[in-house]
Structure 1
């Protein structure tokens, strides 16, 4: 490890006897994500390496893996494959192997837009896709817990968006509270996609009717469940 914030793996480095590194594709507080190739088949995968030792990471890692497996039928959830123990920097760490999704992080996609903000209709289209995905998760009595621009992968498909979410988080609150938090995060994402505070007053009513001035109380009063948000997105008038 070259620093506490990176493993410094380069193209061609081995990741156990089964995989080789292709490139680094992301990082967060828990670890780094690399694009890797399975040597035996040539198939491309993604590997999340956790910074802490496996002893410190174990509870979070196991909970995360089990949650991904339980939600494997949800289209928006990255598909978990299996776990590996990797020897790096004289210690074992956990490595989570999952599907590789051909898309860009939402925060990187935004950089390609003028002013780093989406047109209203495009932002609403993306939020609708996200809402449908979160509704699937909530229908299973689960939650995401950490929705933001840095853990949503986006792929364009014609006039549609295909999404994958990563890095679920449990803040130790009740599941009902976590699900309400997901709704607030979706509304906040829409707020950010169209330019945030600097551009909010110029947004069409369709945007403001969801973001509600970024007030949590008003958002949850109007959308007590993600079902209500999805129904609104399908029926509102411009």
Structure 2
């Protein structure tokens, strides 16, 4: 077993106290590097073996860009007291809390960058079973170039269930995401809403960075849709039975036009219908342009546009409608046909929502949904 008592003590007299007598900044005389001695809380010498095992796992993270590098376990003397500590890099920057306090608002791109770096660092640490256990805004440092480092691992408690520390990290990550979200304006909040919602549902950091990147790919277009048009792609996803690709649209044929899109007859149309009741005695058949069909098409197009046009604007779909009258002019049944073609962007959206089922929506018949105001 490694015995900490055999290690030469570091004298921290004159070092800069960083935090409540638990961390000191000093210059290493051999290398000239600025380092930090971080005292290990709750430690007793009977726990040396567990401490060494935990530190070895922490060392595996050395060199990771999001985590402050740890070098060694030592004993340090300060104000006449000798306590175990570990030595890590000094990160020259400001805490996440200071970073947030200095800015009235944060833009989407900055918040996304912080969330991605933080999720990446926590995924790496948890993959080595290193849980922080005290993840708060002061333990996250951002340097002048915007790079993030997580500091102050090994808040030592060998008796604590590791699962509790893991859950603590997840809950604190959720809190940090919420605080970053609240620093954004309304437009950027809309862009962040899917990412925020997903982060509130996680049970592990594994794969989280990739999932956030997927959501980022659709976030800009998503923010342009309000809740009503957003229902449309979800309905289309659920109504895509069979194989649909860029060449195969959803098609509806001979759908009966609802009465609400059929306008009242105008004067010329009423006159035509009246004359049809009394055919010309000469046997000449009267002809009339079906003006009603154009007005029905305009009304039907307006009805469907409220749900389909926003998706067309952001490049998810193309669509068209046609109106047929297989019966008598003005009085015969008018049928609606429509085609919806999907773009490559639509299939990306579909894939994202399949992998990350963030929005729930009841199964709805597409025809009923599109023709319902």
The answer, yes or no, to whether TM exceeds 0.5 is yes
The CA deviation string for residues 169-203 of structure 1, in whole angstroms up to 9 with x for no partner, is 4683354x64454333222111112437xx89886
Aligned counterpart, 1:10: none
- Given that residues 119 and 194 in structure 1 are in contact (C-alpha distance below 8 angstroms), is that contact kept between their aligned partners in structure 2? no
Match of 1:219 in 2: 200
- Corresponding residue to 2:180 among 175, 190, 193: 193
Identify the match of residue 94 of structure 2 among 92, 96, 104.
104
In terms of fraction of residues, the more strand-rich structure is: 1
Instruction: Indicate the residue corresponding to 2:113 in structure 1.
Output: 125
The CA distance in 2 between the partners of 1:145 and 1:51, in whole Å, is 12
Task: Number of aligned residue pairs: give it.
Answer: 207
Shift in Å at residue 163 of structure 1? Answer: 2.1
Aligned pair in 2 of structure 1 residues 85, 143: CA closer, same or farther (>3 Å)? Answer: closer
Deviation at 1:136, TM superposition (A): 1.7
Give the SS at the match of 1:86: strand
Instruction: Give how far 1:219 is off.
Output: 2.6
Q: Which residue of 2 aligns with 1:208?
A: 193
Show the counterpart of 1:16: 10
Deviates more, 1:49-58 or 1:35-44: 49-58
> Which residue of 51, 59, 64 maps to 1:69?
59
Equivalent-residue separation in structure 1 for 2:204 and 2:42 (angstroms): 36
RMSD: 3.6
Cα separation, 2, equivalents of 1:132 and 1:52: 28
Aligned-pair CA distance for 1:79: 1.4
1:146 alignment partner, one of 117, 131, 134: 134
Q: Using the alignment, how far apart are the partners of 2:60 and 2:206 within structure 1?
A: 21
Larger CA Rg, structure 1 vs 2: 2
Relative distance call for 1:186 and 1:50 in structure 2 (3 A) is: closer
Could you tell me how far 1:165 is from its partner in structure 2? Answer: 3.0
Q: Output the CA distance in 2 between the equivalents of 1:59 and 1:118.
A: 44
Structure 1 alignment gaps of length 5 or more? 1-14
1:134 aligns with 2:134: no
Counterpart position of 2:23: 33
CA contact (8 A) 1:50 1:57 kept: no
- Deviation at 1:21? 4.1
- TM-score, normalization: structure 2? 0.46
Alpha-carbon distance in structure 2 between the residues aligned to 1:84 and 1:141:
22
